[in-house]
Chains A and B, each alone.
Chain A
Amino acid sequence: MTCEETELELSGGDVSPIAKAHLAGCLECQKTARVLGLAALPELSDTERLMLSSLPATIQREVRTTKPARFNFVKQSLGYALAAGIGALIASAVILKLRPVDPPVVQVKEISAVSDSNLSDDEVFFDVGWPSPTEGDL
């Protein structure tokens, strides 16, 4: 048996008789065994075991209280959809308001002749057809 194989066995707890025989005559493996023993933490105390016995109930309680936030996707999705809808509504209103407006087209009708007989004298001033000095028998 090699030192590497003995090391692996020593780390697992169950040491075979072959490994024990190797350990008895190998100084390096004895150092390994000592270091592993020093590094190992003490067995769980009664207090720790008692504390662990209540852990499943605590975790289940925690899961129950955080479940809606962590695992209920439906509520979350509905909330997001509602927020997105409101956002879209506001955005469309803003877009409509800011859209460039075409300049108004002003249609001008040309007046070809004044035919209204009710016009005042001032208004009809230029329509009076005085005879031209070049006209007639001058």
Chain B
Amino acid sequence: MSVSAPELRVIEGGAAHGRSEGELLRAFFAGDPGAFGVLVRRHQETVYRVVRRFAKSREDARDLTQRAFLQALEHASKSRERFESSDSESPFKAWVLRIAVNIAKNHARDAGRWTWAQVEALDFQRAETPSANDVMERKEAEELTRRAVLQLPPRQREVFSLRIDGGLPFAEIARVLDLTEGNAKTHFHYAVKRLKEEVAKLGGAS
């Protein structure tokens, strides 16, 4: 009776995390499905943070994140020749975030309502225990401010969300939205100015 030799296989994944976006996309189109999974893991949290402000629930935000990745992949497959033929780097993160911003915007418009239903935990710390009244006031002020964010002009809202929710540096925000860095900072400044005015009007910043 002969015993067959053990099959040796190289398991993908370990080294994949250090690979560039262009390399991962090239690997995916060459037939390695796991390569796209690495890309998703790399950017999913940023994309999710950006879209969840516009979503009605966490499941909604998850669906929007998924759609953003699938559309970014479609976009990448259309222009794959550009980075397949050379070593040029693909701006995948910028693509997926741009798509995420647009998807979220359209979703919120279609849904016709601007509510964030997921404010479950109060995220502020105080030295002393806040009174029930303080908690209520804070919660109300948060809701008013978040609503005011969603009513900002589109460009200001996009810059604000990418900065505050996505935590992106201004240089990267500029790349995602096709702006100059200075322009992105100006939009942010005007967004904050407007928010302060709105919140003062609503009595939230009192």
A interface residues, Cβ below 8 angstroms from B: 4, 7-8, 11-13, 31-32, 34-45, 47-48, 51-52, 55-60, 62-64, 66, 70-71
Contacts and interface: CB of A to CB of B under 8 A. Distances in A.
B90 interface: no
Nearest to A49: B45
Contacts of B169: 12
A55 B67 CA distance: 11
Given A52-B44, A59-B70, A41 B49 contact: yes
A39 B77 CA distance: 37
Nearest to A66: B70
Contacts of B41: 56
Interface of A is mostly: helix
B206 to A, nearest CB: 10
A36 B192 contact: yes
B142 interface: yes
Contacts of B114: none
A43 B196 contact: no
A52 B45 contact: yes
B44 A55 contact: yes
Given A55-B40, A63-B73, A71-B77, A38 B199 contact: yes
Contacts of B148: 39
Interface residues of B, number: 55
Interface string B60-85: 00100110011001100100000000
B36 A60 contact: yes
Q: A-B pairs with the 7 shortest C-beta distances?
A: A38-B145, A42-B123, A56-B37, A56-B40, A39-B145, A35-B195, A38-B142
A41 B170 CA distance: 19
A7 B192 contact: yes
A41 B124 CA distance: 11
Interface string B23-43: 000000000011011101100
Contact of B164 (A32, A36, A52, A60): A36
B73 A8 contact: no
Contact of A39 (B45, B65, B146): B146
A58 B49 CA distance: 18
Contact of A38 (B37, B49, B141): B141
